[in-house]
A and B are shown apart, each in its own frame.
Chain A
């Protein structure tokens, strides 16, 4: 059975179409990743699937229940870990979990063992009686994951679960997710904009501008890009791009301060590049395809550039809203 089925799901906020009709399916037990820059529509999609936002049109089922007509049933079968923390700092870790268990109607006799199980998993069992306000950001996020699992959900939604955390905590959160996938009958749906994390997912949907532009396993996505990628830093990027086009018939773009382009066999090409390019080259970097390249091949920019330009657009929109001065 499919854990999540989505058909032509759309969401508009006024004139702005945040999600432009996405369709996909997620199998039971899968770890499914949504990858894309901020503002791509990932959070809006996840909010619709979690029944927090009503879709403008389209249809979706989570754990076999319709997200619009069976809202409470969906909620009972899903766990949520939000981007912003939603713990009660005045309560202890244990009290936060107990409150959750009561709200979700967990059977009383299951509450204690389940609490111990999830708290041990995230390494907070020893701190269970401490007030949450004394916890670090990483500990809070781990506690939220434990809480999201308290009621044994069928689908766990993680919205940017590792954002703002140090690498060590990020690694441990990933190890819980893998452990979960082995031990429980659970489907994990997550959003991220870290390329390296997306690699852990079974399948990835790349989202850009409210649409899914690619949906495959990370390996297949990388294979599809095929070519090696070369990045060069030059004294004059524009001339370099022009020359690359004339001499080698290559299409190059500037991203993150370097000229980048794809060639079939990078190792053979680099010596030719040095011999024939007239623009002085300061540095050269040859790499096998990464998810970043996948993202780039589908959207035409790196994820960081996409974020910067969407931030710029937002700023521009804010300026406009404030009266269009300057």
Chain B
């Protein structure tokens, strides 16, 4: 076979389109879409990631109700825990979404994305947005359970909860992707994530009011970023309930820093800012890799 023998007529023309910001947008979009397609195909994951929030909500909620009936001013414990559970479901799904980057690396697919002629940041952004979307879709399933815990529906509730879930999911996924840039083994990754996310969840006050906590816990609670996602979520859900002022004060006390009441808007902004910062670190880390 000699190299000059091919003067065959129908040579296919080589088409290489020029490079522009559009190619970056396309890259973000397709990476995002891939997360959705995979989520859709993975029914098992949808079911299994519902188990934990449902346990908290119905088993822990119903079980502890007997002890706490006196101190919740007539509010069902399930109703009280509900906003926390809306947060936890998003947190754990977001974590799994981030883990998919570790899987992708293990199965080689990350390489296919990393060698593409687009910015690494586009890949990371697509991945984080994809993970956030998937996690908040999962959150919608839990939102459908509001009737079971006596929370009446309203357009404001649905949109507000979805927006908050999207924001929290974005930050958690960005956090996970940032970790995934460094930890390349799935076992270690899940271990590290559990070790960080579980305490953050417990300390955040998702399962208890953050008012009269012992000093050490109050400090940890104020340092825990998740606190600033749980409080707005609870405020939003409670706004839909007909609660007495006392009940509202006991169950959803405002977060204070040395006596200063932190506005809800600032809390929401903190979650967003943290998410953006971690996304930035994640991009820098993936850019630095070979």
Contact = CB atoms under 8 A, between A and B. Distances in A.
A203 to B, nearest CB: 7
B115 A77 contact: no
B34 to A, nearest CB: 6
Interface string A68-108: 00001101110010101111111100010011101111110
Contacts of A89: 107
Contacts of A184: 11-12, 14
A30 B3 CA distance: 6
Contacts of B17: 105-107
Interface in A267-325: none
B11 A104 contact: no
A185 B7 CA distance: 10
Contacts of A137: none
A169 interface: no
27 contacts: A27-B3, A29-B6, A31-B3, A52-B290, A72-B19, A75-B116, A76-B16, A80-B115, A84-B108, A86-B109, A87-B108, A87-B112, A88-B109, A91-B34, A95-B37, A100-B116, A102-B26, A103-B112, A104-B117, A106-B17, A152-B12, A152-B16, A153-B14, A184-B11, A184-B14, A185-B11, A200-B1
A53 B290 contact: yes
A103 B116 contact: yes
A87 B30 contact: no
B8 to A, nearest CB: 5
Nearest to B40: A90
Contact of B3 (A29, A51, A91): A29
Q: By DSSP majority rule, is chain A's interface helix, strand, loop, or mixed?
A: loop
A91 B111 contact: no
Interchain residue pairs A-B with the least CB separation, the first 7: A102-B30, A202-B3, A103-B116, A105-B23, A75-B117, A86-B108, A76-B117
B42 interface: yes
A115 interface: no
B43 interface: no
B13 interface: yes
B10 interface: yes
Interface in A177-201: 178, 181-186, 200
B14 A50 contact: no
A128 interface: no
Contacts of A203: 3
Nearest to B23: A105
Contacts of B113: 103
Interface of A: 27, 29-31, 50-54, 72-73, 75-77, 80, 82, 84-91, 95, 98-100, 102-107, 110, 131, 151-154, 178, 181-186, 200, 202-203, 217
Given A90-B38, A91-B38, A185-B12, A105 B3 contact: no
Contact of A182 (B6, B22, B42, B112): B6
B140 interface: no
Interface in B1-51: 1-3, 6, 8, 10-17, 19, 22-23, 26-27, 29-30, 34, 37-38, 41-42
A90 B17 CA distance: 29
A98 B37 CA distance: 13
Nearest to A88: B109
B115 A104 contact: no
Contacts of A178: 1
Nearest to A71: B117
Contacts of B3: 27, 29-31, 202-203
Contacts of A90: 37-38, 41-42
A152 B15 contact: yes
Contacts of A86: 107-109, 111-112
Contacts of A82: 108, 111
B54 interface: no
Interface string B109-130: 1011101111000000000000
A110 B15 contact: yes
Interface string B178-193: 0000000000000000
Nearest to A180: B12
Contacts of B27: 102-103
Given A29-B3, A88-B34, A91-B38, A50 B26 contact: no
Contacts of B12: 152, 183-185
Nearest to A108: B26
A31 B108 contact: no
Contacts of B42: 90
B263 to A, nearest CB: 42
A76 B19 contact: yes
Interface string B153-174: 0000000000000000000000
A84 B115 CA distance: 14
A62 to B, nearest CB: 13
A73 B22 CA distance: 16
Nearest to B41: A90
Contacts of B41: 90, 131
